[in-house]
């Protein structure tokens, strides 16, 4: 999944203003993501996505935001 310019701007937490942001991965991850699972900026969240599922999470204040994007 590629990030657009507006998504890069969202990587600042809208709640606390910090930049320690994790991308939450929903659904079955690709083999590429599984091989890179040691990256600190991604978190696998499972296969069930609902209206409360968020794409970004601040690792400092735990605020979550952004709609999950489907490929």
| pTM of the full structure | 0.72
CB atoms within 10 A of CB 7: 15
Instruction: Report the distance separating Cα 49 and Cα 53, nearest Å.
Output: 6
More confident call, 2 vs 41: 41
- Which pLDDT belongs to residue 15? 97
Instruction: Work out the mean pLDDT of the chain and round it to a whole number.
Output: 83
- Residues 36-46 as b/e (b if ≥16 CB within 10 A, e otherwise) read eeeeeeeeebe
Percent of the chain with pLDDT over 70: 80
């Amino acid at each position: 999944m590629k990030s657009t310019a507006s998504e890069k701007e969202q990587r600042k937490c809208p709640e606390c203003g910090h930049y320690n942001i994790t991308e939450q991965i929903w659904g079955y991850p690709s083999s590429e993501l599984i091989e890179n699972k040691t990256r600190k900026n991604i978190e696998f969240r499972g296969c069930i996505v609902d209206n409360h599922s968020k794409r970004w999470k601040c690792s400092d204040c735990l605020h979550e935001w952004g709609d999950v994007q489907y490929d």
